[in-house]
Amino acid sequence: MTFIKSIQELQKLIKNDQHKKTLFFSESFLKELVQLCHYTQKTKQKIQKIKLKNAKELPRIHNELIAIKSATVEATEKILIASEKIETLAKKLPKEQAQELYRYITAIYEACVFQDLTDQRLTTIGRVVKNLDKMIIQLAEFLQIDSLPSSLSDLGLCEDNTPFLRGPALPSEAPKQDDIDQIFKSKALL
Amino acid sequence: MGIDVTSTRILIVDDYKTMLRIIGNLLRQLGFQHIDEVTDGLSALEKIRSIKYDLIISDWNMEPMTGLELLKSIRSDELTRSLPFIMITAESKTENVMAARDAGVSNYIVKPFNAITLKNKLSSVFGDF
């Protein structure tokens, strides 16, 4: 028997009670209890929604963070290779010109430290997001939410529509320029 | 005048290869020629046991051995107790700096840093060059 049904049964029993004072206080108490019950049910549904959404979004967040890390490593590598080549070529120049170039190259090396810091910040973000998800799951377990409907539509809740503008695709999903050109050409023929 | 930079041996320890490259390039710009690089503390200890370095430059956040643990390990060995050690790290809280100082770090550089800061800290260890 569910908790709400138990309350309803209790209400019936109390209604049959002859003492009006007991009846009054009991009914008020039971009303509050039923409201609390509904509120708890709604809270559980909200937590379930968050849990389902996280399960869908977290892998994407993880992949996006990895994509950012890879992109910054790759870009920094290219910048350093080019700078080192310029530094080598600078040695062939007259001293004054070489010194000036070395100053700019040093500035590039200093700026490239950003990659290390970006990486560390991304790791922190990843850790925080993972911990948040863990807390949601623990809360769901504590509230025994697994007995609730397991999809957003079962809950009567709408999924977020995928926005039209989604930003850069993940490297594994990103189409090449040739693919885009093909799409472009095919539309042009219509 | 201080050290002869052309014969000074430096070991850089950082788990980010980009940082190894940047620090190495900046050191070479200053004239240092003998620069070794490793990506973790355990490899650093192995190298230190076989090569006489004049300076260790290390990151802090590394696994399995942090830069602080590497420093403590170096300071606890009689043979390497006074080996100069500069920490270059993103860790900037007072307690971090104090912990490194108490563990015997020679100097502490916070990322991001510039070439002038690096040179100044090297001068604090080697004297002007």
Encode pLDDT of B7-19 as tens digits: 999 999 999 999 9
Average pLDDT score over residue span B96-105: 93
Q: How many CB pairs under 8 A join A and B?
A: 46
CB of A136 closer than 8 Å to CB of B38:
no
Please state whether beta strands B85-89 and B9-13 pair in parallel, antiparallel, or not at all (unpaired): unpaired
List % helix, strand, coil for chain B (3-state, nearest 5).
40, 20, 40
Report the half-sphere exposure of A72 (CA within 13 A, side-chain side). 21
Hey, are the CB atoms on A113 and B113 less than 8 Å from each other?
A: yes
Query: Are B19 and A117 a contacting pair at CB < 8 A?
Result: no
> Is A106 in Cβ contact with B61 (below 8 Å)?
no
pLDDT level of residue B129 (50, 70, 90 thresholds): confident
Q: Do B115 and A106 touch (CB under 8 A)?
A: yes
Provide the pLDDT for residue A17. 64
User: Do B59 and B89 contact (CB within 8 A), yes or no?
Assistant: yes
Instruction: Give the pLDDT score at A84.
Output: 96
pLDDT value at position A165? 64
pLDDT of residue B89: 92
Cross-chain Cβ contact A102/B29 below 8 Å: yes
What pLDDT score was predicted for residue B76?
A: 96
Tell me the pLDDT tens digit for each residue of B49-68.
999 999 999 999 999 999 99
Residues from chain B that touch A73, judged by Cβ atoms under 8 A, are 18
The pLDDT assigned to A106 comes to: 96
Q: Is the pLDDT of residue B1 over 70?
A: no
- Give ipTM to 2 decimals: 0.80
Chain B residues whose CB is inside 8 A of the A99 CB are: none
The Cα–Cα gap between A72 and A187 comes to 34
In angstroms, rounded to a whole number, what is the distance separating the alpha carbons of residues A166 and A64?
12
What is the least distance, in Å, from the CA of B21 to any CA of chain A? 8
Amino acid at A171: P
Interface membership of B112 toward A (CB under 8 Å): yes
Q: What local confidence, expressed as pLDDT, does residue A157 receive?
A: 46
- Look-up of token digits 């709408």: A158
pLDDT at B29 over 70: yes
Bridging pattern class, strands B85-89 and B34-38: unpaired
Average model confidence (pLDDT) across chain B: 94
Q: Is the pLDDT of residue B25 over 90?
A: yes
Q: Is B16's Cβ below 8 Å from some Cβ in A?
A: yes
Q: Which of B18, B29, B114 sits opposite A115 (nearest CB)?
A: B18
- Report pLDDT for A10: 73
DSSP E strands in chain B: the ranges are 9-13, 34-38, 55-58, 85-89, 107-110
pLDDT digits (tens, 9 = 90+) for A157-187: 444 555 566 666 777 777 777 777 777 777 5
Instruction: DSSP for A84-127, please give it.
Output: HHHHHHHTTS-HHHHHHHHHHHHHHHHHTTHHHHHHHHHHHHHH
Q: Residues B108-121: pLDDT tens digits?
A: 999 989 999 999 99
pLDDT at A62: 85
Which residues does chain A have with pLDDT short of 70?
Answer: 1-4, 14, 17-26, 146-168, 187-190
Q: Residue A119: its chain B contacts at CB < 8 A?
A: 16
